[in-house]
């Protein structure tokens, strides 16, 4: 079966450029406003065109799904990490941190349900700072009782790197395209 492409319903604004990109050589009267955003569910970097005379602020959640959109006119497409403005790069860390905080149960579920990828690699090992020893300790601890939250993981697994920070680092690595395996980024 073909894997369906991840579609975002909502995006969080990283940067709003009301006059378009500064390096764009298009005459100013023909430039469009640009929004750089990250998808709320699959962490996909997106370039959006807002509707005329709409002001959008950083960290604002905008609807980009099917049907009538109130602030976004058009989804231009995916955006590469190196195309982000400096403001967007700075905001990216904060937004991912907020999204991980808000969806803690989803990421704790990953620790409870992660499986081997192949005979040599387990999904847990893809997290930064996670080796075989931590992986086996996590698996043994979750067999006794599933983890309730990040604090529970830290308390039950000795010398465990901060699970929240590991998730955030992994999401950033996937966005940057540093690994062929994708756990969190669509």
Instruction: Please report, for the domain that includes residue 156, its CATH number.
Output: 1.10.150.280
Residue 23: band (very low, low, confident or very high) from pLDDT cuts 50, 70, 90:
confident
Q: Tell whether 186 is covered by a domain.
A: no
Q: Are residues 168 and 114 in the same domain?
A: yes
Which of residues 92, 114, 137 is at a domain's end?
Answer: 92
Which among 40, 38, 21 has a CA at the least distance from the CA of 30?
Answer: 21
Domain that holds residue 137: 103-176
Q: Are residues 168 and 115 in the same domain?
A: yes
Residue 6: band (very low, low, confident or very high) from pLDDT cuts 50, 70, 90:
low
Mean pLDDT value of segment 163-173: 95
Q: Are residues 167 and 113 in the same domain?
A: yes
Q: Tell whether 123 is covered by a domain.
A: yes
Predicted confidence at residue 155, as pLDDT, reads 92
Q: Tell whether 155 is covered by a domain.
A: yes
Residue 53's CATH number: 2.40.50.140
Which of residues 92, 126, 143 is at a domain's end?
Answer: 92
Q: Measured between alpha carbons, how far is residue 150 from residues 53, 86, 136, 140 in Å?
A: 43, 31, 17, 16
Contact 33, 20 (CB under 8 A): yes
User: How many domains does the chain contain in total?
Assistant: 2
Q: Are residues 75 and 120 in the same domain?
A: no
CA 166 to chain centre: 13
Which of residues 92, 121, 143 is at a domain's end?
Answer: 92
Mean pLDDT value of segment 16-44: 87
Predicted confidence at residue 5, as pLDDT, reads 63
pLDDT in tens, 135-153: 999 999 999 999 999 999 9
Higher pLDDT among residues 29 and 32, named by residue: 32
**pTM listed for this prediction:** 0.88
Q: Measured between alpha carbons, how far is residue 27 from residues 8, 58, 126, 145 in Å?
A: 32, 26, 46, 62
pLDDT in tens, 35-92: 999 999 999 999 999 999 888 999 999 999 988 989 999 999 999 999 999 999 999 9
Residue 3: band (very low, low, confident or very high) from pLDDT cuts 50, 70, 90:
very low
Give the Cα separation of 95 and 88 in Å (integer). Answer: 10
Q: Tell whether 5 is covered by a domain.
A: no
Tell whether the model's pLDDT for residue 33 goes beyond 50. yes
Q: Tell whether 182 is covered by a domain.
A: no
Q: Are residues 85 and 110 in the same domain?
A: no
Higher pLDDT among residues 21 and 140, named by residue: 140
- Cross-strand partners of 34: 17
Tell whether the model's pLDDT for residue 2 goes beyond 50. no
């Amino acid at each position: 079966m073909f894997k369906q492409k991840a579609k975002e319903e909502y995006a969080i604004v990283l940067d709003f450029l009301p006059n378009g990109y500064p390096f764009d050589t298009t005459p100013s009267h023909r430039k469009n406003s640009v929004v750089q955003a990250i998808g709320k569910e699959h962490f996909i970097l997106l370039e959006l065109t807002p509707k005329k005379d709409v002001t959008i602020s950083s960290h604002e959640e905008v609807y980009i799904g099917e049907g009538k959109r109130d602030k976004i006119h058009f989804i231009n497409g995916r955006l590469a990490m190196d195309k982000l403005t400096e403001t967007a790069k700075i905001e990216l860390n904060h937004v991912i941190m907020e999204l991980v905080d808000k969806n803690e149960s989803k990421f704790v579920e990953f620790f409870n349900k992660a499986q081997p990828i192949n005979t040599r690699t387990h999904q847990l090992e893809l997290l930064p700072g996670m080796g075989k020893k931590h992986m086996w300790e996590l698996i043994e601890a979750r067999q006794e009782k599933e983890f309730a939250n990040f604090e529970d993981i830290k308390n039950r697994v000795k010398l465990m790197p901060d699970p929240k920070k590991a998730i955030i680092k992994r999401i950033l690595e996937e966005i940057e395209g540093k690994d062929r395996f994708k756990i969190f980024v669509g």
